[in-house]
Chains A and B, each alone.
Chain A
Amino acid sequence: MEKLNYILKRILQMIPVLIIGILLVFALVRFLPGDTATAILGDKARPEVLAAYREKMGLNDSIFKQFIVYCQSLVRLDLGDSTQYNMPVATLLASRMKVTVLLTLMATAMTVVIGLPLGYLSGIRKDRLTDQGIRSFALLGLSLPTFWVGLMLMLIFGVQLRWFSISGWGETWIDHVKGLFLPALTEAIFAASVIIRNVRNNVVDVRGQDYVDFARCKGLGGFRVGCMHVLRNAMIPTATLLSIRIISMLGGTVIVENIYSLQGMGALLVGAVSSRDYAVVQGAVLAFILVVLAINLLTDILYSVLDPRIALK
């Protein structure tokens, strides 16, 4: 029950952020120099089309009424039409969302698989050679620019060695996973470096706690103490950091999808910015905001599972 209350509270707390997000997206095209209707429909739109659009979106009314009309159209999932693709933005986003979400999920999985064990190892071997090595690796991972890592992985493993497919999205699920392996790894290298450094420091702190000594005195095995006492507690601060990394990897799809020619939301957004397709820019930014809010909610739930004390506060 407490957990349910906690989740409901978190959902309620998200509403202001969502409203501000919608406001920002709404304001986005209104900050543009010149006429809003022309900006959204393009320079080539005929005057009567522009006039009809102004009428529909209430662009002749007060800014407050315009916002209400905009929110109403959002509820109907009407995000306008793309000038570049000649199709509704909502349809376009729905077809692109899958790539971006799967890419981010795979990148997250890789981050955890690389980051947790290495961070833990580094922490329990504090100041030894293993620790020094892992820390230097992590520091290098932090300094490498993501777009360059992506290009290099593609050049080495895709073009030269041909170990991985760089043909993109493909047809079947197996194709998808193969095609997304290198792009996901590209994103995971930076995120895993952040996680390694954080897990290491947490493990070092937690290992000095009394309850860890006590667990050892009770005669619990090294593995049990490692997993249930050290790692579980060391992971609580890491959960927040991981959610921040997931959000930033979601943003990173903008770069990675471009490198590997994937047709996801990130590539869509960059393309729309370059070709001044503002209905798509608005729709894509809003979609990103929604996914971020969903990730934040999931992290909060994960948090309360890892540390039951949090839900009670």
Chain B
Amino acid sequence: MKVKVTARGGVRRLSLWQRSPSLVMGLVIVAVAVFVAVFPQLLTSADPYASDQAAMLLGPSAQHWFGTDNYGRDLFSRVVYGTRIDLLIGLGCVAVPFVFGSLLGLIAGYYGGKVDAIIMRVLDVFMAFPFLIMVIAIVAILGPGTRNLLIAMWIVGWKEYTRLIRSEVLVAKQSEYVQSARTMGYSDLRIMLRHILPNVISSAIVYAASDIVMCMGTAASLSYLGIGVEPTTPEWGAIINGGKSFINSAWWITVIPGAVLAVVGWGFSMLGDGLSDLLRADTH
């Protein structure tokens, strides 16, 4: 527990804001994004798919806050509805590698020997190739689309979690509580999941926060290149891709969705940074 000694000699707990302002700011941004993703209809009544021939390429105004695109679709509503898609893709890309990568790291670190050697050699190979090139190569085989994009991100995304968890397990394995659990005759599975995992998972959780930023960015990049989500989807990268040809005349189509993506990404980064600050403070 972090405390502060006040001028009168009294002791009081530090608030979360004092301990880590970036954590609080990150939490606020992420909470707003989640709210928008869950209740888009509260913010806009416009249909993100409805085109209007009379309102093509209009700049931001009272009626269309973010302007309209070349099909006359309302960009505010597309960006708002896109929040759900981008957040789901970000979470979806992280969730599966988080679980499988962490489990592999747990197994590699706990058993060591041959199992560890095999897992780590496979990991080395994955580390040697550029992330984006591998994702694109996999999308080349599977074909574009949201589902295949997710699969490609799962195949390349697990390795960081494995590395992180493995190195922590190697330390935790030597500790007294694991030794005593062994002496009690508990099974390997029970020791790994009940005793080691809760003590090593925090580093993976911190990494996941920054990983979401990277996953959202990569997914949006692929959609921007036209090999991610289906082109009509109101996903931020896909919206920017649609506005690419009009960048000189209709800047709002490219500028606004990207700025929203940047702010949400910044929120997750601050959340991750704040979490790791707190953890470091607690261990020292």
Query: Known interface pairs A143-B213, A251-B130, A254-B136. Does A151 touch B240 (Cβ–Cβ under 8 Å)?
Result: yes
Task: Output the least CB separation between A295 and chain B (Å).
Answer: 10
Residue contact B273 to A147, C-beta cutoff 8 Å: no
Task: Output the least CB separation between A34 and chain B (Å).
Answer: 12
Q: Which of B33-41, B63-71, B244-252 contacts A (4 or more CB under 8 A)?
A: B244-252
Query: Known interface pairs A142-B213, A273-B136. Does A254 touch B225 (Cβ–Cβ under 8 Å)?
Result: yes
Q: Is A21 an interface residue (CB 8 A)?
A: yes
> Which residue of chain B lies nearest to A273 when distances are taken between CB atoms in the complex?
B140
Give the interface centre of A24, A247, A293 by most chain B CB atoms within 10 Å: A247
Q: Is B125 an interface residue (CB 8 A)?
A: yes
Size bracket, chain A contacts: 35 or more
Query: Known interface pairs A143-B265, A155-B254. Does A17 touch B125 (Cβ–Cβ under 8 Å)?
Result: yes
Cα distance, A259 to B206, chains bound together (Å): 32
Find chain A residues with CB under 8 A from B129 CB. Answer: 21, 288-289, 292
From A17, A28, A152, A252, contact of B140 by CB (8 A): A28
Find chain A residues with CB under 8 A from B261 CB. Answer: 145, 148
Find chain B residues with CB under 8 A from A24 CB. Answer: 137
The binding surface of chain A is classed by DSSP as helix
Residue contact B132 to A148, C-beta cutoff 8 Å: no
Q: Is A118 an interface residue (CB 8 A)?
A: no
Q: Is B1 an interface residue (CB 8 A)?
A: no
Residue contact B141 to A143, C-beta cutoff 8 Å: no
Q: Which of B171-179, B185-193, B197-205, B216-224 contacts A (4 or more CB under 8 A)?
A: B216-224
Find chain B residues with CB under 8 A from A140 CB. Answer: 262, 266
From B128, B254, B268, contact of A151 by CB (8 A): B254
Cα distance, A293 to B225, chains bound together (Å): 26
* Chain A 278-308 near chain B by CB (<8 Å), digits 1 or 0: 1001000100110011001000000000000
Q: How many residues of B contact A (CB 8 A)?
A: 43
Task: Output the least CB separation between B5 and chain A (Å).
Answer: 20
Find chain A residues with CB under 8 A from B273 CB. Answer: 139
Cα distance, A149 to B136, chains bound together (Å): 21
Which residues from chain A sit less than 8 Å from chain B, CB to CB? 16-17, 20-21, 24, 28, 31-32, 139-140, 142-148, 151-152, 154-155, 159, 247-248, 250-252, 254-255, 258, 269-270, 272-274, 278, 281, 285, 288-289, 292-293, 296
Find chain B residues with CB under 8 A from A21 CB. Answer: 125, 128-129
Q: Is B133 an interface residue (CB 8 A)?
A: yes
Residue contact B221 to A255, C-beta cutoff 8 Å: yes
Find chain B residues with CB under 8 A from A152 CB. Answer: 255, 258
Cα distance, A199 to B20, chains bound together (Å): 22
Find chain B residues with CB under 8 A from A255 CB. Answer: 132, 221, 224-225
